[in-house]
Structure 1
Amino acid sequence: MLLTAYDGAILGPIAKLLGWVMNGVYYLMDQIGIGNVGLSIIIFTIIIYLLLFPLTYKQQKFSKLSQKMQPELNAINKKYQGKKDQASMMAMQQETQAVYEKYGVSMMGSCVQMLIQMPLLFALYRVFMNVPAYVSGIKNLFTQPLGGNATSLVDGIMATEGYQDTMTNLVSTLKITTQPVANFTVSDPTAIANSIVDVTYKMNSSGWDALKDAFPALSSEISSTYETVSHVNNFFGMNISDTPLHVITSSFSAGAYLMVIAALLVPIISYLTQVLNIKLMPQATASGNDQSDAMAQQMKMMNRMMPLFSLVMCFTVPVGLGIYWIAGAVVRVVQQYFLNKHFEKMNLEDIIKKNQEKAKKKREKMGIAENQISNAAKMNTRQMVDANKKQLSSAEKELEIEKANAAKSKAKAGSMSAKANMVREFNERNNRK
């Protein structure tokens, strides 16, 4: 089963773990008589987002604290605006660090949470793009005899002479994207069988008709498999392996206008749920810092573009992937709504105080090492300031000499400065001679 799964070094193991959970969800639902891939995707998505909720909570908490301390950070940015010397930059960094320590949060903020969440979500995408590789119950529909047939669909295809070229032509004609062996020329029969499952699972209804034309002797096996797979893949009358665009065109030509509306709702609902999710998210405000404001503008642009991207893409990807996007957006909307209510009632001052106590205990554990680092940083700053004072240009040196000469010329009679001036004038007259 694992041969057709995504085998990336990082996402591969994560996808296999998530696939194991997805397989468990489908198995339990199948045991109670409601084995359906679309419904399994929704339940599985809810489970994953609930598991990620602690990370989401920490991320949202950091956003609220960031808004609270933003005025102090803006004041520091304004104080050092335009100052590019090393001493000023180090001083700005120290003051900024002090603000973060005051509120008891890390300068890395939610980066750690994002670094953990992103691989999980990308791996989840891999699972939904190739369900039979991870859900054994779905794969068995292709590899075990169905409907009283003596052989399975996969075994029947592999027993047909020249099936490699036939399947390769179908992949090219139907424009099916699959992995890892779309040309069916490897020597491992298990890998070839897995590739046949990958290709046939991703076929839409017209693809199954093409499969019947390509293997007329397997008409019974193909019909039985398609009927069973269509049943478990059925979601509001749509096959989740079909794209909404295919459902719209085929249903419109057949006069099934309700199916056209159902297919249109997939990208539309995906767009609306993501827009609502972004509306509920904490939004970045103007900080007075050019770099921060530029990043905030880029984020706003991405927030506008991502729902549109989802709207367009949902027409051309399988319905099952659209269900995943919608389910994920709905779960995030619900989470965000209750998080916003929670943070509105929360006393941020108490949180800041607790964070400061934690930071203080952490500094106490660091002990001398932290003091040494702080002293070294201050010493380096003083050394740079002194070095800057010593590094005078030639023009500045001449100006200092002229100031000194002017001060000497105003010296009182009989003073040491006046006598020094007399010696200097005597030497200058002799030199001219």
Structure 2
Amino acid sequence: MEILLSKSTMPIIGWIAQLLGWIMNGIYIVLDAIGIPNIGLAIIFYTIIVYMLMTPLQVKQQKMSKMMSVVQPEMQKVQKKYQGKRDQASQMKMQEETMAIYQKYGVSPTGSCLPLLIQMPLLFALYQVIYHIPGYVTKVGEMFSGLAVKLSQANFLESLTQFATDNKIAAQLSGTGEALQKGITDFLYLLKPAQWEKLADINGFSSLKTTIEQTAAQSRQVNMFAGINISESPWDVIKNGIEAGTWILVIVAVLVPVLAWFTQWLNYKLMPQQTTGNPQQDSMQGSMKMMNTIMPIFSAFMCVTFSMGIGIYWIAGAVIRCIQQVVINRKIAGMDAEELVKKSQEKQAKKRAKKGLPEKKITQQARVNVRNIQEPNRGSRNNTNDSTEYYKNATNARPDSITAKANMVRQFDEKNNKKKK
């Protein structure tokens, strides 16, 4: 089980989550101001805004992928040319020709991967804010903080720790002062309606019964979405709905994991699929296709046991990505790959001009490196041949010189060879 924290403390992701948390907090403040303080709605609007902010990265990634479709045929020719050659000279030559192709089209080998790498910490931070709402949304944190301060007193803490153990809730209920109060706040935020009732009925908390009930009512109000308390998991709602005979709630609860699966599956289907003609890369794409089939199913199973709030986030995120993908696909489809390459070449040329670099410097340097590998043996042979010719032609050398002695040895060898013949 995971230990709860009021905010993410992971490097980089924690910093990004702090920035995204301001967006979430602002959305909730607006909803509260217009009289509908609701965590479910806040999650949906928050997801929409953050994914819209990531749209330029997604467009850039698909532009690079389209340009790579123009580059790929030439890349395949180079790979085929050096197929099976593992010596250093061949590898350097292949690298030179590969870099020349990238420069020719003005693209980067990591161009299509970089936007995806940038998106990853953003997505992790997005989830962290959803999971630790009391730490990022001021009004939600304040809703539980009054009760958390009272429960942090020594005479209540032991009973609270035992309650967490009995209900299998992993919580950071150790430490003192503000750290302890934050741990209790996270603990209270994750309590389900039935657990709130159990907490109020604990004998040791009789003096806090009214405060507990008031906090539970406030929590229920902000967590109600489409008639369901999103602090509960779909599995909890299904079980309670069957027992109470409220079949509409059962249907809604079943729809959450089903929609989580379907929307993510549809999102993967809408992503452009390109075959490269390279068996190794096509095999990797086949593996990715299998993962794209398995992950939505895995998400659906996880969604059954996670809180409904997480399910809403997954569904909202997948729906937004589907809409984005349709729009981006149409936009990219209307673009000429050759024109994209031309613009990229012009952009690269301007960058090199600003830096004062000559054109094709990398290619020329690579060519020099390859030549340095290929030429040493040839140079050694040429030096040997030149030395031999020199000794042969040096007939006017001084009698006591090394050249004269070399000529004597050569003449002696020639006479012996003639006698043998």
User: Normalising TM by the smaller chain, what interval?
Assistant: 0.7 to 0.9
Instruction: Select which of 165, 168, 177 maps to 1:175.
Output: 168
* Cα deviation digits, residues 16-47 of structure 1 (max 9, x gap): 11111101100001100111000000001111
Letter matched to residue 114 of structure 1: L
Structure 2 residues not aligned, in runs of 5+: 382-410
Q: Contact 2:70 / 2:338 at 8 angstroms: preserved in 1?
A: no
Aligned residue for 1:363? Answer: 352
Q: Give the counterpart of 2:62 among 52, 56, 60.
A: 60
Match of 2:76 among 50, 74, 81: 74
SS in 2 for 1:102: helix
Moved more, 86-95 or 18-27: 86-95
Mapping for residues 315-394 of structure 1, pairs under 5 Å: 315-367=304-356, 373-387=362-376
The answer for unaligned runs of 5 or more in structure 1 is 144-151, 393-418
Q: Secondary structure at the match of 2:201?
A: helix
Q: Is 1:228 aligned with 2:218?
A: yes
Give yes or no for contact 1:274–1:307 (8 Å, CA) kept in 2. yes
- Within the candidate set 181, 185, 201, 1:197 is matched to 185
1 CA distance for matches of 2:235 and 2:378?
71
Listed as ranges, the matches of 1:119-138 within 5 Å are 119-138=121-140
- TM-score by structure 1 length? 0.82
Kept in 2, the 8 Å contact 1:240–1:320? The answer is: yes
What aligned pairs does 1:33-432 form with structure 2 within 5 A after superposition? 33-143=35-145, 152-158=146-152, 162-178=155-171, 182-184=172-174, 186-188=175-177, 190-214=178-202, 215-290=205-280, 292-367=281-356, 373-387=362-376, 423-425=415-417
Cα offset, 1:381, TM superposition: 0.8
Deviation at 1:95, TM superposition (A): 1.8
Return closer, same or farther for 1:70/1:316 CA change in 2, 3 Å cut-off: same
Structure with the bigger RCO (C-alpha within 8 Å, sep 6+) is 2
**Matched length:** 386
| Identity among equivalent pairs (%) | 44
CA distance in 1, matches of 2:278, 2:83: 10
Report how far residue 373 of structure 1 moved: 4.8
Question: 1:77 touches 1:289 (CA, 8 Å); kept in 2?
Answer: no
User: Does the CA contact (< 8 Å) of 2:48 and 2:320 recur in 1?
Assistant: yes
Q: Is the 8 A contact 1:87 1:381 kept in 2?
A: yes
Contact 1:244 1:319 in 2 (8 A): yes
1:212-269: CA deviation from partner (whole Å, max 9, x where unpaired): 2322333322222112211111111221211111111222222222111111111110
TM-score (norm 2): 0.85
Q: Structure 1 residues 359 and 371 mapped into 2: Cα distance closer, same or farther (>3 Å)? A: closer
Q: Is the 8 A contact 2:257 2:311 kept in 1?
A: yes
The answer on whether the counterparts of 2:47 and 2:316 sit within 8 Å (CA) in structure 1 is yes
Supply the distance in 2 between the matched residues of 1:310 and 1:7 (Cα, whole angstroms): 25
The structure-2 alpha-carbon separation of the partners of 1:227 and 1:98, relative to structure 1 and needing over 3 Å to count, comes to same
Is the contact made by 1:22 and 1:40 (CA closer than 8 Å) also made in structure 2? yes
Q: Deviations over 1:118-168 (max 9, x none)?
A: 11111111111111111111122223xxxxxxxx43344345x63222221
Is 2:235–2:304's contact at 8 Å kept on the other side of the alignment?
A: yes
Task: Deviation per CA, 1:317-347: give whole Å up to 9, x if none.
Answer: 1111111111111111001001111112222
